[in-house]
Amino acid sequence: MTHFKTISELAQAEGFPPPENPLFSLNLISESNNALKNMEITCDFYIICLKKLKSGVILYGKTKYDHDMGSMFFMKPRQSLTVQDVQLKDNGFAIHVHEDFLMGHPLFTEIKKYNYFDYEINEALHVSPREEKILWSLFHKMETEYHNNPDEFSKSIILSHLDSILKYALRFYKRQFIDRKPLSGITVTKFNECLNTYFEQREAGEKGLPTVNFMASQLHLSPKYLSDLLKQETGKTALELIHLYMISEAKNMLVVGDRSISEIAYQLGFENPPYFSRLFKKEVGMTPKEFKKHLQN
């Protein structure tokens, strides 16, 4: 694994000319770029790419990249990227942005809010031809400014186009979630099946509360992507659905049997019964004790 601290180091390794700005670069990626064939890297900067793959393997983290259509992927600092025997189907582009380049601009904070920088690469953005045309238009506008003689407005103009690319990407991701609804609509069903299995096998009492990371690994998705899918389907995040499931189980346990509230909390995976009671009251509007008393009246 090679770690690149600077954009210049990566440019040299990929066979590109040195960037005109050490903290920001734009590169056109051609079908004949053999430097893409084999790499295993991490970087200290953001990478935004549009690529169409003909063959080969790209791993983002530990997950394989699907490349059926023109796709964008977004890599934040210190994530791992592995490229094996890649051949491109068409030209693409790459944008490299160091965090320091964003200092003093709203994007320094805003870029951290885009969940797609945390997606596994198999959850890349699949763009339609119309969407691809929009992204290329914005890239070329950045490119024109990038190669002009820099002045006091250059950085602001470049970042305004980058901001537009990120906002369009968010819009396209939302479209992708809707387009994939026949497939993604079963996510909540699979999610609940995993929860059922977890509690039926009494794993909660031994391993504790099921985490979002655990549930995502069971469904072979990244945690943030899972939450976004579930939010699209149900209006609730993965963590909210886990809590609602456990509250439902707790209600049933309070109705049947004579277990104490502490016993129920421990069986559901709560190490701290008072935390269980607070969560229960937040969701139900009354404490477990009040709920049980209410049922008995």
Neighbours of 8 (CB within 10 A): 17
pLDDT in tens, the chain (297 residues): 889 999 999 999 888 889 999 999 999 988 766 555 678 888 999 999 988 777 777 776 555 655 555 588 888 888 878 888 777 778 889 999 999 999 889 999 899 888 888 765 556 788 888 999 999 999 999 999 999 888 889 999 999 999 999 999 999 988 877 666 554 457 788 888 898 888 888 777 778 888 999 999 988 888 888 888 888 777 788 999 899 888 888 887 887 777 889 999 888 888 888 999 999 999 889 898 888 887 666
Shortest CA distance to 127 belongs to which of 78, 96, 83, 92?
92
Q: Quick one: tokens of 258?
A: 């004579």
Tokens for 56?
């080969």
User: Is 101:154 a contact under the CB 8 Å cutoff?
Assistant: no
Strands (E) across the chain are located at 2-4, 24-29, 38-43, 45-51, 53-60, 63-64, 71-75, 80-88, 92-98, 125-126
Domains, the chain, ordered by start: 2-126 (2.60.120), 184-296 (1.10.10.60)
Q: Are 50 and 135 in contact (CB under 8 A)?
A: yes
d(CA 86, CA 96): 20
Residue 129's Cβ-count burial label (10 Å; 0-12, 13-18, 19+) is exposed
